[in-house]
Amino acid sequence: MILCLDVGNITTTIGVVDDERLVHTARLRTDNFTADELGVLLTQILDRRGVARGELHGAICASVVPALRYTVLAACERYLELDCLWVGKGMRTGLKLRVDNPREVGADRICNAVAAAHRWGGPVVVMDFGTATTVDAVNHKNEFVGGLIAPGFRVAGEALFQHATQLPRVEVAPHEGSVIGKNTIDAMQAGLWHATLGSVNHLARVMREALDPAARVVATGSYGSLFGPASEEIAEVDRFLTLRGMALLYARNAG
């Protein structure tokens, strides 16, 4: 089994993968951990999941928070006695990155593309719903050809709360009532939901048409399970696609 760590701006997702099967997951709030704090949290989570540290033979991390690199590597070494692979420069991905500067492509986007190409093959479009909404394209040759980045659903809600003094912070959830809100909270939830869903459908459609009209559109990330089933453009939902990509990258680069 291997340990996969997806370190995002807001949350860190932890996965234990056994022979390409994701057998355990957990989430932490991404924080300014020390290596010892993170190490203790990891050992506690693994213990509660019934995973003996001796059963883990490797670890891999994909992070969009470069400042936490030392913390993650040190926590894995000190508390789990594991050398942790870092998704980034020099890693064998199995994909050609047909972009202007491959070093600019986020580790999470690479993992998503690797997993989508492995599971469905190109052409495929991956929409990752996190702090940002990323929409990435893998062509019929299984080449990563780029994508787009837009503000995420939660960021839009926080922007309203922070910049409009009379608007409250509202729950992030699908809006199933009337689009005509009868109070401020209903109006905000309706606006956030329908504005984002409309954007999701549009972005998925224009990306698919630019890549290949036959491309499959896949959703992942924190809010993928919210917008995936509601979108007329999204065919598949895999909340843990990034972790699956990390497991594949570990297999291609370990040893």
Q: Which residues are catalytic?
A: 108
Integer Cα distance of 82 and 84 in angstroms: 6
List the end-to-end C-alpha distance of the chain, in Å, as a whole number: 15
> What are the beta bridge partners of residue 150?
133
Q: Is 113 helix (H, G, I), strand (E, B) or coil?
A: helix
Find out whether 193 and 161 touch, Cβ atoms under 8 Å.
Answer: no
DSSP-derived letter for residue 192 is H
- DSSP 8-state assignment for residue 86: E
Residues 6+ apart with CB under 8 A from 22: 15, 16, 240, 243, 244, 247
Evaluate whether 211 touches 125 at the Cβ level (below 8 Å): yes
Pairing of strands 96-97, 143-151: parallel
For every residue of 15-76, DSSP letters joined together read EEEETTEEEEEEEEE-----HHHHHHHHHHHHHHTT--GGG--EEEEEES-GGGHHHHHHHH
